Amino acid sequence: MVVDVFISTAGRSGGKKNPDVMVAIICSTFTFFTTSYLTPLVILFKKCKNFLVILFATYIITRFYFISFTHYGFPYRDDKSGDPRVQRHYITHSIRTLYDKQGDIRYTDSGFWFLEMDRNARKTIESLTMPEEPIPQDENILCKSEVFCGLPLLSARQLLPGGFWVPGPAPVVREIGHLKLVLHEKLTTSRHRMHFMITGNYLMSLNIRPKESVTLESWNLTPRLPPETVFNKQKCYFVMITHGLEHETINITLTLKTADEDFKRSLIDVTLVTTHFEHNKEHTSIFANLLGKLPSWTYAVPSVASLKSWTF
């Protein structure tokens, strides 16, 4: 029972960690405490070496049998046995649009983001995208310049080190969230207040990254600023927005302070991600075909998303 619990938990730890090590440590610890008292008894045997050889041979034969002739040699199972152990995949079909300070589009692309949930997921992802080779998420074209590598993150739980980006056609995304700068006040030579308005979908995430030499002093979302979220050596304030199907406009006020007076450069980067999990009927044919390639022992959580990024 203990192993079953930790194996399932390790399947959500990301592709950079080896869950076998953790499970092996747990098993070794339990084995040590439950069998250590037998060691003095074994030493008293007249043919101690023969006993140990037989014990070791029994272990090898048993291990070979379970790996070769039972399902224990493969870590995943579908639900036919009534005890499913699936390989999880979060797959997001996304379009990314970046705007410059004047509001013009400076970059746009689209593709599929695969969140690597366990260390065996890469082989499955590669089989789905052949002959296209998946690009590690920390090597995609937007990783050096954009917040969180330009990935359509919805929740902080998705901040795992492993993942892949595969370029592809644009998805069908309706009810896209939109952010608008309503007012920019210059309080002093080094302090600014910016008022934003967010409209659109009921499931969004907002990433706020102050520029170099700029500090976010306060906002109207919480009485105190939370600590910045760190991912891939990048820092930003991460906000998850969820509400009912109908919701009024969200107003956000940010107070910023610059290190230098009469700061002439941009102050912040703001990214708004809109995510839909319920639009299965609107999946493109390419996305539907990709999901259809998944083996029976996998479980996919498909979504479509729109990422928009502005500089103010």
CB-based contacts of 87: which residues, under 8 Å, 6+ apart?
A: 11, 75, 76, 117, 118, 120, 121, 124, 297, 298, 299
Q: What is the share, in percent, of the chain residues with pLDDT greater than 70?
A: 89
pLDDT at 2 over 80: no
pLDDT at 246 over 70: no
Q: Report d(CA 212, CA 191) in Å as an integer.
A: 15
At position 146, the amino acid (one-letter code) is E
Domain residue extents for the chain:
1-73, 80-311
Summarised one tens digit per residue, pLDDT across range 182-199 is 999 888 888 899 999 998
Which is more confident, 146 or 75?
Answer: 146
3-state DSSP percent of the chain in helix, strand and coil, to 5: 30, 35, 35
Query: What CATH number was assigned to the domain covering residues 80-311?
Result: 2.60.40.290
DSSP assignments along 242-259, one per residue: E--SS-PPEEEEEEEEES
Summarised one tens digit per residue, pLDDT across range 282-298 is 789 899 898 888 888 88
Tell me the average pLDDT across 91-108.
Answer: 91
